[in-house]
Chain A
Amino acid sequence: MPSEGADRMAVLQGTLDLIVLRTLQTMGPQHAYAIATRLQQISGDLLRLNQGTLYPALVRLEQQGRIQGAWGLTESNREAKFYAITKAGERALAEETLRWRRMSGLVEKLLSEGA
């Protein structure tokens, strides 16, 4: 039975939303496949995202009104759903970024001082 294997680095809870929003902000409207590819490229395979797990995040973000999906055609004339960041998404991204920076700064500080 397939499950989350030990070899994959799990995406930290809550950070996937942040990553998706940031990707859409910098790259403009994208379909899920492009987002997944982009994430893999950036992380240099460090972050091996099970492509299927991206969908719940997209659904969740759409339900929260942070992104908006619309069906369109890819360059190769294939049907795909393109997601774009909304105003609310921008605001949320700003907040989340701030929180993330604070949090990671704090963790970093703790880790280096505690040594």
Chain B
Amino acid sequence: MRRFFSRLVNLFRGPRAESEAVREIESHLALLAEDFERRGLPPDEARRAARRAYGGVEQAKELHREARSFMRVEQLLQDVRYGARNLLRTPGFTAVAVVTLALGIGASTAIFSVVNAVLLRPLAYQDSDRLVTVLHYGTGPVATANYIDWRDQSRSFAAVGGADYWSPNLTNSDPPEHLYGLKVTQNLLPLLGILPLLGRLFVAGEDQPGAEHEAILSYRLWQRRFDGDPGILGKAITLNGESYTVVGVMPAAFKFAPFWATHAELWVPDAFGDSIHDRGGNHLRVFARLKPGISLDQARAEMATITGRLERQYPATNRGVAVTPLKENVVGKIETPLLMLLGAVGFVLLITCANVSHMLLARTSDRQKEIAVRIALGAGRARVVAQFLTENLLLAAIGAAAGLLLAFGGTKALVALSPAYIPRVETVAIDAHVVLFLLAITVLTALAFGLAPAMHAAAANLSAALKEGGRGDSAGMRRNRLRSFLVASEFALAFMLLIGAGLMIRSFSALQSVDPGFNPHNVLSLVVSVAGTKEAEPYRRALFYRELLRKVGRLPGVISAGGINHLPLAGDLWSRDFVIEGRPKPRPGESPYAIYRLVMPGYFETMRLPLRGGRAIADSDDTRAPGVVIINERAARAYWPGEDPIGKRIAIGHGDETGPQTWLTVIGIVANAKQEDWAEQPYPEMYLAAFQNRDFLGESSDPIAPHIMYVTLVVRTAGNPADLSSAITRAVRSFDRSLPVSAVLTMDRAVADATAQPRFETLLLGVFAAVALMLAAIGIYGVMNYAVSRRTREIGIRMSLGASHAAVQWMVARQAVVQALVGAIAGVAGALLLARLMAKMLYGVRPTDPATFGSVAIVLGLAALLATYVPARRASRIDPMAALRSE
């Protein structure tokens, strides 16, 4: 203990203790010399003899120091000081190394912070890894009657709940607003395990018809529309014209649902009503919590049994029901691209390491003499390695600090750039995990780039280094091999990154040139919902929308206007089965189906969706006229191959509904329009006339009727469409002040959003590849340049013996060419492997696209050539006489 303190004290009084030691050694030497003198040696010789007898004075001091103090700590501080001095002495080297490292570490950290928030962090529900979804083919909604059977028959789940999308109008509150919310079964919110901030969740019985008029608000909605009123509980709000009592407010961080309807900010109980017998209308999303001790596989097995039984009972239902971990549904789509980006940034970091590593190697060679002197003066080899590693760590730490700043900025930029499709992106932050990651990669980076040079430094041959002025070193060969390896691997990594980026760019440009079927320029879209207003009355609805279209169409700057239930790309996608007149009844599950659209006159004209045959829907297609339908080319080809569909009749449903069939005559065929996924081929599609559709007009009791109380207006304008949004809003409000206008969006924006994910990925990958290319070129340039400066003498001799400029240039370049070739071959192999993993993310380009591989090889070759050319030229310009004289 005492020793510990005196060592601790010594740590702070280093210089004093040091002089004490020197004094004691001096005294010892003096006494020794005195002894030798007494034996008859002259004073000079006695002193020399004393020194010889004593041994290494410096080693003694070192031993002394070691005994005196916490050697490690003191050494470390000393190494840090020494390292810092060294780094400061070569500001150019340090600046380049720090910037390179900051790029590599900063980019990795920024991407990791996104991966951490989006992929790694558990979902913000209690024991979220026990939450699953039970949906058709993983993500598709299910019918109410099936949900009820699953809930009642399954034993694997602690609770099974359902949610249905619901977007009511908030009225009796200024301004009126079209809200996004969910109708949920009573048990759904409790099964998530998140307590409300205020009030309570729904309790048993509240999802029964008549008791369901209660609402839970999101924190944001509470703040935005009710100023965070703490007395909100028990107050009534008007949704779709009906009164709902607020019973709870959820915490600010609460979001539900996490993968679909992500912007929901209102939850009300779902009293299923008539739909409890419905097995055909799929609209409910089912969520469940596994019972403790039940595994996912057990739950899957049980659901397979249940749905198998139900399918036999009700043919063509309960197909492809999958139990999927909730998190998989949330992050599934983004997982591969994010991991790819993390991999890409990892490659950049590796290239960074390789670059800094051979910068250090070159520096180590120049410092050979210094190292030799230090070893001669008593530094152990381990000590030299430790010193180098400390210096490298210091370098990495400075790089990491700069990288952290970069990561802060980069993360913000990523979040701002990232399209809305990335779930949980709003939670991206530099948290403890990210800092830990940063520390880990900093240390790993320091080891990766620093270990080899440090080992080489310490392995130096002392006397050779001292004698030859640090030029001829025995470790040279090994060092050269290491350097070649570094350059080759940089090339391989850069090659792979460039292939990845090249494929993404090709794929993206293929996506860009996809024809959406319509002309999205100069079109504004906005949603006008009549729910809860007097315009919702069945007899008024058609009149209101007709008048509205007329009024908007007459606004200055408007070319035409139309309406549709769900806008392509931005809106929902409903699919409905139908029967074709005169055909045999299809087997269960094989009915023709099509995407279901309700359109108003003017829609095709406004969207410039070209008619391929027949006519468009006209004003005269109303309830008094015969029912009409327009189909897209895909539907025409799929269901009337080799036939002209025009004049044929279809009916929605399966042909076994009670009551008379409502036959619709096919009057026209339009081009295929992009529907939801930009890269997918459009599905068959049918457009019904809204003004003759009883569900839309509010004259039917079909369960889907309440879901079509809004219309997306599309308006083609002469100028910038966004300029007209306030004029159009005023036109809507002039009918009724309680009519909300929402989702105002230009079609160009909708198209951009549809390609936002590939754009984002392409942009990031492109940036990484560019950085990689630059770093690899800098790397090869540095190595070549260094090689030339080391071979000045040899080149001088060759030239004085008659070697031509070209021969010298080739001699220098040959090395680079070989390294680049080896790297490129390894890169092609790696890229072929990686591209296969990317196949799913590509559109219109094969992973082995020869054009991409070819152009990447050319780009990389040019970069290598350029990086080699300058040093090679310098080599051939060497004046033989000067070179020979210089050493």
User: A-side interface residues toward B, CB under 8 Å?
Assistant: 1-2, 31-34, 36-37, 50-53, 55-57, 59-60, 63-65, 74, 76, 78-81
Contact = CB atoms under 8 A, between A and B. Distances in A.
Contacts of A33: 27-28, 31-32
9 closest A-B pairs by beta carbon, nearest first, are: A52-B60, A56-B67, A33-B31, A63-B3, A59-B67, A63-B6, A80-B27, A56-B63, A2-B56
A68 B32 CA distance: 22
B24 A32 contact: yes
B684 to A, nearest CB: 85
A76 B34 contact: yes
A68 B3 CA distance: 13
A81 B375 contact: no
B64 A55 contact: yes
Interface in B39-74: 53-57, 59-60, 63-64, 66-68
A42 B30 CA distance: 22
Contacts, number: 76
Contacts of A57: 67
Contacts of B56: 2, 52
Contacts of B31: 31, 33-34, 74, 78, 80
Given A51-B28, A79-B27, A81-B27, 6 more contacts: A2-B56, A2-B59, A31-B27, A52-B54, A52-B59, A76-B34
Interface of B is mostly: helix
Among A53, A55, A59, A60, which residue has the most Cβ atoms of chain B within 10 A?
Answer: A59
Contacts of B68: 59, 63
11 contacts: A1-B375, A2-B56, A31-B31, A36-B28, A50-B55, A55-B21, A55-B67, A59-B64, A63-B3, A78-B31, A80-B24
B576 interface: no
Given A60-B3, A63-B3, A64-B3, A53 B63 contact: yes
Interface in B739-756: none
Interface of B: 2-3, 6-7, 21, 23-25, 27-28, 30-32, 34-35, 53-57, 59-60, 63-64, 66-68, 375-376, 462
A57 B67 CA distance: 8
A53 B56 CA distance: 10
Most chain B beta-carbon contacts within 10 A, residue among A33, A78, A79, A80? A33
Contacts of B34: 76, 78
Contact of A64 (B2, B53, B57): B2
Contacts of B60: 51-53, 55
Given A1-B376, A63-B3, A51 B63 contact: no
A45 to B, nearest CB: 13
A2 B55 contact: yes
A36 B59 CA distance: 17
A79 to B, nearest CB: 6
Contacts of A76: 34
A34 B28 CA distance: 9
A52 B63 contact: yes
A52 B2 contact: no
A21 to B, nearest CB: 16
Contacts of B3: 60, 63-64
Nearest to B37: A76
Contacts of B53: 51
Nearest to A79: B27
Contacts of A52: 25, 54-57, 59-60, 63
B294 to A, nearest CB: 62
A51 B24 contact: no
Nearest to A56: B67
Nearest to A64: B3
Given A2-B59, A31-B31, A60 B54 contact: no
Contacts of A37: 35
Contacts of A51: 28, 32, 53-55, 60
Contacts of A81: 23-24, 27
A37 B57 CA distance: 18
A55 B30 CA distance: 15
Contacts of B28: 31-33, 36, 51, 80
Nearest to B376: A1
A102 B185 CA distance: 83
A46 to B, nearest CB: 17
A77 to B, nearest CB: 10
A65 B57 CA distance: 26
Contacts of A60: 3, 67
A1 B462 contact: yes
B1 to A, nearest CB: 10
A55 B376 contact: no
Contacts of A78: 27, 30-31, 34
A62 to B, nearest CB: 8
B331 to A, nearest CB: 59
A55 B21 CA distance: 9
A60 B71 CA distance: 13
Contacts of A55: 21, 24-25, 60, 63-64, 67
Nearest to A52: B60
Contacts of B25: 52, 55
A68 to B, nearest CB: 12
A15 to B, nearest CB: 16
Nearest to B463: A1
A13 to B, nearest CB: 14
A53 B28 CA distance: 12
Contacts of A65: 2
Contacts of B63: 52-53, 55-56
A65 B6 CA distance: 10
